[in-house]
A and B are shown apart, each in its own frame.
Chain A
């Protein structure tokens, strides 16, 4: 049973445009959500997080939106840059993440010049 779903295995976006990566979850107990970025042969790098008490969190070019009623979150990257090409993982946890994270399968974002 996959509790965190990223339904788009890949996404291609033109440089300068907005990239929107989506994530759905099924476990209503999740209260902390994170996005990680991963380059090949490297460990995931933390990007941005959001607690379930918020519906938006912004950090520079990255914004995460949380819709609890729809059990959906999205990551917006504006403007998209070539260095943003990577695999993006959505992750969720119960109780803040200390008991491990549940990850989606990832979305490969490709920024076209």
Chain B
């Protein structure tokens, strides 16, 4: 059973960047897309983008294009999400999730709270 373990909570100032990691257990890291999503009380769940861990090919949601960068380090089965030019409304819980090949998200990481505050 694959598990995704994310890095810990972050507090950042407006204008800064944050990088969240997502480490996958098991030997199938390269086989399935890794997606990044976030959840806020106001906007609910938002899809940010995905990365193909095998090729590194990425696709971003228009709302985050230009501010989000997804990368991966395949030998250590870890994916990363970096969000730049942070604003207070970027305060959210950020999740990674895998697509097991059915165009859905399962499993999810435990979530990383990112707080943007001056």
Q: Do A and B come from one complex?
A: no
Q: A-contacting residues of B (Cβ < 8 Å)?
A: none
Q: B-contacting residues of A (Cβ < 8 Å)?
A: none
